[in-house]
Structure 1
Amino acid sequence: MPVPAPAPASTPAPSRAVPASTAQTTLTTQPTEESDPLPVTSGLPAPTLRASPMLQEDIPTAVRPQLPVFVTGDQVTGQPDIKAVIDGHAELRRGDTVIRADRMEYDVPEDRAMAEGNVHINRAGNIYQGTMLDLKVDAFSGFFSDARYRFLETGGHGEASRVDFIDNDNSIVHNSTYTTCERTNEASWRPDWILRARKITLDRGEDVGVAEDGVLEFKGIPILPVPRLSFPLSDKRKSGFLPPTIGLSSNSGVEYEQPYYWNIAPNRDATITPILMSRRGAALAGDFRYLEPTYRGEASGMYMPRDQLRDRDRWSYGLKHNGLLDSPIGGLGLNIDVKRVSDDDYWRDFSQRTSAAGLGTQLTQRLLAADASLGWTRADHSVSLRALKWQTLQDVSAPIMPPYDRLPQLHYRYSPQDLAGGFDFSVDADYTKFRADRNFTRQPNAERSFAMAQLSRPFLAPAGFVIPKVMLNTTNYQFDSQLVNGSTSMSRTLPTFSLDSGLVFERDANFFGRSFLQTLEPRAFYTYTPYRDQSMLPIYDTAPSDFNFASIYTENAFGGNDRIADNNLLTLGVTTRLLDADTGAEAARFGVAQRIRFSDQDVTMPGVNPVRDRLSDVLLGAGINWTPQWSLDTTVQYNPKTSRSTRSTIGARYSPSKYHTVSAAYRLQKITDSITEPSEQFDIGWQWPLNDLWGDKGERVPGGPGRWYSVGRLNYSMKDSKFVDTIVGFEYESCCWIGRVVLERLQNSIRSSNTRLMFQVEFLGFSRLSLGSNPLQSLQRNVPRYQMLRQDSVSPSRFSQYD
């Protein structure tokens, strides 16, 4: 009920009781110098290089002192706007703060609440419970005895002998515990992991906790002394140690990695990882990332002062930068991608670290580029200046041909838009200086210039298209030494004509009780290029194009500019699709295509015979996505002469739900004019809960038992009758921790491989992964469609613990 305005100070208002079963009073507080609240840190998005949603909106500082106070209870006595005493089911509300107790006294001028008996505080979803409270409500300063607490965002909870509230954001918890494990009603419940500390300092403004003089227990066993350790109170990025990784490697012995994450700024961070290897020694790895409105990048590296197995220093570094800048002269772009290692054996000894150090996704990468390009674009014109230099990691048992450096490459393109008459026109001009070790290439280095112009007039309609095109390519070479015929320069000019055409027929169809829009898309592509003898031209950047449904409808059989195939051929193909009548999604696709050659193709790569066959191999392709859970994709290259397939690829995937996926692929490749090394491989990858095998299906439920997952990938060579690459692991997801053990065996060369066994435990809400550690990186790189456990977890709403 409302309380009358206070009497003058010289005439104190008498105390009175409100004899009601439940009494309610509204009190107003006037801010004083000592009760004025401290500034409240706004709930900004987490400072991460990727966006993170706002988790909580705090009440603005200027508004808090103006909020009214509501008190209720079985009996309320006191002086209006001076003091209130609430007995029985006492409750006080102000803004996002709720206090409940058996008995409570509230001093209005001091904004001070003193409560005892089953005291309960809900502060914006964070809950405290205890026996005695003395608190300035708005400033949120005071103490709480024999407290239990639970934080909303992480679900972390614990107990303490006393909690000292310093202000709205900071508090100190004495003789405390902390865990994120879900409490059950069982009397014998004990958390899987728990932190016990003499003191824990909590900073809700930064969402960071700091434990002092403590110990971390796992399954009741102390595993880590904690002189001083910080941990997160939300999903915000924070500086601190990430979960360590322990592994066994056939090359390096026992490995221990302890990453430290440094949250430098919202758009910059770094990870520093000391590494110990029992057979090699100590190393230090690091990674630095930055993100700005117009540019972004990453720098990484590793240094080992002395490798005990190689008796030398080992190092690697990588740098990536991508930037775009608008200027008065047009758009300017700078792209840098540099990868370097200390020696030829690095890829074999540290293959698992090439990706972590920014050296790419190939675990056995032997070609490392230092690539930098500067580009300019304005209207219809663009210019790029590029420098590319390779580091080739040679193996005596399996040497590889080093690619040519481009020092420099200058490229210009003119592509006007909206030409009259519906024409498309473009001109490309390029100058490149090629350099490589002639002991490997056995041919001279050169400066190559070329210009290519093309003009087309597309005729497009809903029922089909016709696109005639003419092209003119002229190329000039200047060599640094004489060719076999004594020339130091050569040139070539070739025209090309092509005509691409196709039709699209549609009809309504019904298969297996589903309605579809079925298409029939015949296509004909003709191209003609006259013959010019190019056998004397060296090869700098050219290779045969892969024979697939994309390349079969192109003018040149080669990628690059050192060979232009003499073509007089017609490609015929047809594709039919089934499109879902409601969503338009492609449920099935079937296609076939073949080339008809009217004359021999005499321009080939060195050492390859001219193409005499009038009919090419037949390409057969099919893709089926009948449901979102199932997919099948296959391509077969069939030779009509031998009635056998030359190359076949069959891939299938089944993904019924999250963390449930199985994929398999079969690849066959036989010897042809362009393929000298046959292969036949079977590849299978999976992630699947083992609990499903004995009836406990679906996702893990709160309070339920943990779940086991099997995850891995096997690549088997049928030609060699052995596994090429093997990754097999198990993951365990509990309520508050995730464990991983992964066995990884990767083939380095024909006769050598590297085997590692890795272990990792992640304590959820306490030591959360930000960039990932080695077991997780190995699974993400190698297992198709792998999903990290708890990746899609959403922070709870403050209303999930609303009073």
Structure 2
Amino acid sequence: MHHPRNKASLARFALSPIALVAASLLQPAGVFAQAAAETSPRLQPSPALRDTTTPQDGAQLPTFVEGDRIQGRPDLETVVEGNAELRRGDTVIRARRLEYNQATDKARAEGDVYINKAGNTFEGPLLELEVDAFHGFFNQPRYRFLQNDAYGEADRVDFIDADRAVIRNASYTTCQRHPGPSWMPDWILRAASISLDQEEEVGHAEGAVLRFKGVPILPVPAISFPLSDKRKSGVLPPTIGLDNRSGLELTLPYYWNIAPNRDATLYPTIMTRRGIDLAGEFRYLEPSYSGMARGHYLPGDRLRDHEDRWGFTAQHNQGLNLPVLGTSALNLNLNRVSDDNYWRDFSRSSASLTQRLLVNEGTLAWGWAGINFNGRVQKWQTLQDPDAPIVPPYDRAPQLTGRWSRTDVWGGLDTYVEGDYTHFTHSIDALVRNAFPTTPEVNQPDGQRSYLVAQVSRPWQAPGWFVIPKAQVHSRYYAFDAPLATGQNTAAVTVPTFSLDSGLVLERETNLFGRGFVQTLEPRAFYVYTPFRDQNRLPTYDSAQVDFNFATIYTENQYGGHDRIADNNLLTLGVNTRFLDPATGAEAAKFGIAQRIRFSDQDVVLPGQQPVSERLSDVLFGASVSFLPKWSADGLLQYNYKSSQSIRSTFGVRYNPGNYRVISAAYRRQQGLSEQIDVGWQWPLNDLWGDKGQNLGPGAGEGEGRWYSVGRLNYSLKDSRLVDGIIGLEYDGGCWIGRVVLERMQAGSDVNKRVLFQLEFVGFSKLGSNALQTLKQNIPRYQFLRERVTTPSRFSNYD
């Protein structure tokens, strides 16, 4: 049978066994993609929640074959010669010759064999395969993977069965070829053999060596890795850091993929000046609950008189759906450390262990039909500094809170009721008593406080205006564990409050700098009246002065918490104007001013404060401007008209002309307390010599051979010293990125300094310190030079 064809499409021809060749060759796309997860990967829901629908079986898909000539004998053999091509689903096989022997169940493709499987391509001279047994080989294959544009080659691929294969003398790199016969990739991974198990989705390499600039830097006698995005247990790349306190730090992490919804990571760290820090993290994710636990243990710290150091943090969140009774939730947040110096020595060991106030609390919440109830136990661990002690906050053990709210009832009324019972306790040591001998919070007794808040309002609003009257009653009762200075063991107070909020929203079309805008004018008036009720002799368990800004100037009470309800007879007047883009509604600029007018003295104050008698408050000026796409600025000024001075001022500006180009600067001043300048940046240094790079988009850099400067400096003008500083350099080598970062952080009276080195092999792994995390956390709008934004579609490499 001889049918000459010139790339004419033949009828459907059942060659599904040959199509299985490509199925086996897709899976090595994960080879060397990562030795193991480099950072804690995202947990997946438990298997019961995942979609278990299987795709259509391969044998049910039609197969199309075409070529210059086709011949054969029925039920014996079929041969396609000259531009032979087989298509099946997302698989394409091309060769100069394709033949299949049905008697021996062998498929053979030879001569420029090319396979495209869902965008991953493979090329080689010869393929032989026993189809049913899936036993055979592919000689001298070259492969390229769609996911990260990585490629490699091998001497041979041996297929053991449908799920297992071995690649002999393989290589892998993401360095793209350059012209020239002597060119070699900057980095390449070579392995004597790679065993693939598609059923388990894992691979195992033996005799592997990672070379950089021709120098072997990471010999790996044996290593396992995932063949897909499925997480894989294994040793993670080591991290190295240099700290002025702990010395050289070497971390050798190990990742344990316990289940799709549970994992653990161990972080043993060798500190040359301290010892060995044993750290670990466990995470879990279930349909109704999730959480994590992380801990550190350093036995015999040589820098702290050989004492044992440890830290622990854990979070647990669980939903409880109770029939008829409503919805409940349980939340736990636990944080403990071994000693007061832990925050100073290990400020980077855990995000939740970097503060001097560590919270430990458990909350049980319940809600049904507009009713919410919370029960909480909250205790604090305070890390004291002898040079800068702080007063610890009160523990709440327990706190019981109930709330009920309804909107648009009884003719449009909004109602709200809240009740609370809390037992406040705290312990004061000699250090705090000596540092704050007259502070009321140190000398006042523990006690139990109950309060009830009832509130009703009736909003009237329409396009262009709103009026909201509101009435509130706040009643509370105290029972003290010890008498007050006045001899009282109990106390009670009830405070009513009335407020009226109103405003207009006017609009007009206008032009500014040659652009058309919709300008708004939004005057606002807010009046509040609260009669005087004597509260100044009562303890302050949770009350404090709220910040004076545009959000709080239109509120009834200038104190947070429930131990002080300020007596007020005042009117707040303010006006905002905004410039809006008529096409998108985006805000191009906003300007505002506000001030309080007081009609009588305020006599309810916090301990140590004097009654407020000024009739006019400080004036607030605020502005945010982003007329130009590349520029934005904002500022806030608190101005005292009597002293003709600014009490507080904050100004910031940002220039962001494109990807990887951002400079931000901020000035912050609070009269008599602080004055600081904060500057941050990320910028290509090649711009200085006229090389503007390529516009490859976010997460792709700007081309090979480019330097980037990154940093952030926080300088105190008041103290004439640098508070915190980060300065670094990044070099994009195309298939690799190098980073060096110098970090200086203030920790109380001490200064911690670190040098971070990192070498990132794109599409494979990162070696060195985690400099990326430091840059992302500290530099505003920092962008990764390599970050997968979208997963590439197989149609981006479609035959």
Asked if these proteins are the same fold (TM beyond 0.5), I'd say yes
Q: 1:691 aligns with which of 686, 692, 696?
A: 686
1:243-258 counterparts in 2 under 5 A?
A: 243-258=237-252
Compared with structure 1, are the counterparts of its residues 184 and 264 closer, same or farther at alpha carbon in structure 2 (3 Å cutoff)? Answer: farther
**Structure 2 partner of 1:393:** 383
**Structure 2 partner of 1:738:** 737
Separation in 1 of the partners of 2:789 and 2:22?
A: 34
Compared with structure 1, are the counterparts of its residues 602 and 23 closer, same or farther at alpha carbon in structure 2 (3 Å cutoff)? Answer: closer
Compared with structure 1, are the counterparts of its residues 89 and 512 closer, same or farther at alpha carbon in structure 2 (3 Å cutoff)? Answer: same
Give the C-alpha shift of residue 688 in structure 1: 2.0
**Structure 2 partner of 1:763:** 761
The answer to whether the aligner puts 1:17 opposite 2:2 as a matched pair is yes
Q: 2:293 aligns with which of 299, 303, 306?
A: 299
Give the C-alpha shift of residue 87 in structure 1: 4.2
Separation in 1 of the partners of 2:775 and 2:474?
A: 46
Compared with structure 1, are the counterparts of its residues 524 and 99 closer, same or farther at alpha carbon in structure 2 (3 Å cutoff)? Answer: closer
Corresponding letter in the other structure for 2:656: S
**Structure 1 partner of 2:310:** 315
Separation in 1 of the partners of 2:515 and 2:200?
A: 55
Give the C-alpha shift of residue 279 in structure 1: 0.6
1:155-304 counterparts in 2 under 5 A?
A: 155-203=149-197, 208-304=202-298
Residues 145-170 of structure 1 deviation map (CA, whole Å, 9 limit, x = unaligned): 22222223232322211111234554
Separation in 2 of the partners of 1:379 and 1:512?
A: 53
Q: What SS does the aligned partner of 2:709 have?
A: strand
Give the C-alpha shift of residue 65 in structure 1: 6.0
> 2:22, 2:115 within 8 Å by CA — same for their partners in 1?
no
> 2:701, 2:785 within 8 Å by CA — same for their partners in 1?
no
Q: What SS does the aligned partner of 1:777 have?
A: helix
Q: What SS does the aligned partner of 1:562 have?
A: coil
1:643-792 counterparts in 2 under 5 A?
A: 643-671=644-672, 678-694=673-689, 695-699=691-695, 705-749=704-748, 751-767=749-765, 774-792=770-788
Give the C-alpha shift of residue 215 in structure 1: 1.2
> 2:243, 2:754 within 8 Å by CA — same for their partners in 1?
yes
Corresponding letter in the other structure for 1:798: R
Give the C-alpha shift of residue 799 in structure 1: 2.7
Compared with structure 1, are the counterparts of its residues 382 and 761 closer, same or farther at alpha carbon in structure 2 (3 Å cutoff)? Answer: same
**Structure 2 partner of 1:4:** none
Give the stretch that moved more between structures: 562-571 or 158-167.
158-167
> 2:23, 2:117 within 8 Å by CA — same for their partners in 1?
no
Residues 106-150 of structure 1 deviation map (CA, whole Å, 9 limit, x = unaligned): 224555322333333333333222232212468754201222222
Separation in 1 of the partners of 2:10 and 2:338?
A: 76
The answer to whether the aligner puts 1:353 opposite 2:323 as a matched pair is no
**Structure 2 partner of 1:516:** 517
Separation in 2 of the partners of 1:19 and 1:562?
A: 96
Q: 2:413 aligns with which of 391, 412, 423?
A: 423
Give the C-alpha shift of residue 26 in structure 1: 4.9
> Which consecutive residues of structure 1, in runs of 5 or more, have no partner in the other structure?
1-15, 52-56, 672-677
Q: 2:122 aligns with which of 104, 113, 128?
A: 128
Give the C-alpha shift of residue 565 in structure 1: 1.0
Corresponding letter in the other structure for 1:117: G
Separation in 2 of the partners of 1:473 and 1:250?
A: 54
Corresponding letter in the other structure for 1:723: L
Residues 715-769 of structure 1 deviation map (CA, whole Å, 9 limit, x = unaligned): 10000111101111222333322322221110011x3110011112222222279
Residues 625-657 of structure 1 deviation map (CA, whole Å, 9 limit, x = unaligned): 224432211110001011110100111222232
Q: 1:405 aligns with which of 376, 379, 395?
A: 395
**Structure 1 partner of 2:526:** 525
Residues 150-191 of structure 1 deviation map (CA, whole Å, 9 limit, x = unaligned): 223232322211111234554211112122222233322211
**Structure 2 partner of 1:534:** 535
> 2:695, 2:702 within 8 Å by CA — same for their partners in 1?
no
Separation in 2 of the partners of 1:664 and 1:790?
A: 26
Give the C-alpha shift of residue 341 in structure 1: 1.0
Q: What SS does the aligned partner of 1:781 have?
A: helix
Separation in 1 of the partners of 2:12 and 2:104?
A: 13
Separation in 2 of the partners of 1:485 and 1:234?
A: 72
Compared with structure 1, are the counterparts of its residues 535 and 98 closer, same or farther at alpha carbon in structure 2 (3 Å cutoff)? Answer: closer
Compared with structure 1, are the counterparts of its residues 368 and 59 closer, same or farther at alpha carbon in structure 2 (3 Å cutoff)? Answer: closer
Compared with structure 1, are the counterparts of its residues 541 and 21 closer, same or farther at alpha carbon in structure 2 (3 Å cutoff)? Answer: closer
Residues 369-388 of structure 1 deviation map (CA, whole Å, 9 limit, x = unaligned): 00111011111211100010
Residues 370-422 of structure 1 deviation map (CA, whole Å, 9 limit, x = unaligned): 01110111112111000100000001111110000000100111212331111
Q: What SS does the aligned partner of 2:408 have?
A: coil
Q: What SS does the aligned partner of 1:582 have?
A: coil
1:76-87 counterparts in 2 under 5 A?
A: 76-87=70-81
> Which consecutive residues of structure 2, in runs of 5 or more, have no partner in the other structure?
29-36, 46-51, 433-441
Separation in 2 of the partners of 1:374 and 1:644?
A: 49
Separation in 2 of the partners of 1:248 and 1:294?
A: 42
Q: What SS does the aligned partner of 1:230 have?
A: strand
Q: What SS does the aligned partner of 1:697 have?
A: coil
Separation in 2 of the partners of 1:535 and 1:105?
A: 96
Give the stretch that moved more between structures: 445-454 or 297-306.
297-306
Q: 2:329 aligns with which of 320, 323, 333?
A: 333
1:447-596 counterparts in 2 under 5 A?
A: 447-596=448-597
> 2:239, 2:769 within 8 Å by CA — same for their partners in 1?
yes
> 2:713, 2:726 within 8 Å by CA — same for their partners in 1?
yes
Compared with structure 1, are the counterparts of its residues 383 and 171 closer, same or farther at alpha carbon in structure 2 (3 Å cutoff)? Answer: same
Give the C-alpha shift of residue 662 in structure 1: 1.8
Residues 425-478 of structure 1 deviation map (CA, whole Å, 9 limit, x = unaligned): 111111110011144422211111111111111111212111111111111111
Give the C-alpha shift of residue 94 in structure 1: 4.0
Separation in 1 of the partners of 2:53 and 2:468?
A: 61
> 1:231, 1:767 within 8 Å by CA — same for their partners in 2?
no
Give the stretch that moved more between structures: 774-783 or 275-284.
774-783
Compared with structure 1, are the counterparts of its residues 104 and 600 closer, same or farther at alpha carbon in structure 2 (3 Å cutoff)? Answer: same
Give the C-alpha shift of residue 233 in structure 1: 4.6
Give the C-alpha shift of residue 687 in structure 1: 1.8
Sequence identity, in percent?
Answer: 57
**Structure 1 partner of 2:49:** none
Compared with structure 1, are the counterparts of its residues 657 and 31 closer, same or farther at alpha carbon in structure 2 (3 Å cutoff)? Answer: closer
**Structure 1 partner of 2:439:** none
Separation in 2 of the partners of 1:752 and 1:450?
A: 43
Q: What SS does the aligned partner of 1:800 have?
A: helix
Corresponding letter in the other structure for 2:59: R
Q: What SS does the aligned partner of 1:417 have?
A: strand
With structure 2 as the length reference, what TM-score do the two structures score? 0.90
Corresponding letter in the other structure for 2:646: S
Q: What SS does the aligned partner of 1:487 have?
A: coil
Residues 244-303 of structure 1 deviation map (CA, whole Å, 9 limit, x = unaligned): 321110110001123333333333333222211111111122222223333332221212
Q: What SS does the aligned partner of 2:507 have?
A: strand
Residues 24-44 of structure 1 deviation map (CA, whole Å, 9 limit, x = unaligned): 655744889xx999999999x
> 2:693, 2:703 within 8 Å by CA — same for their partners in 1?
no
Separation in 2 of the partners of 1:231 and 1:173?
A: 14
Compared with structure 1, are the counterparts of its residues 40 and 104 closer, same or farther at alpha carbon in structure 2 (3 Å cutoff)? Answer: closer
Q: What SS does the aligned partner of 2:406 have?
A: coil
Give the C-alpha shift of residue 315 in structure 1: 1.2
Separation in 2 of the partners of 1:351 and 1:36?
A: 54
Give the C-alpha shift of residue 21 in structure 1: 5.5
Give the stretch that moved more between structures: 319-328 or 329-338.
319-328
Separation in 1 of the partners of 2:403 and 2:173?
A: 61
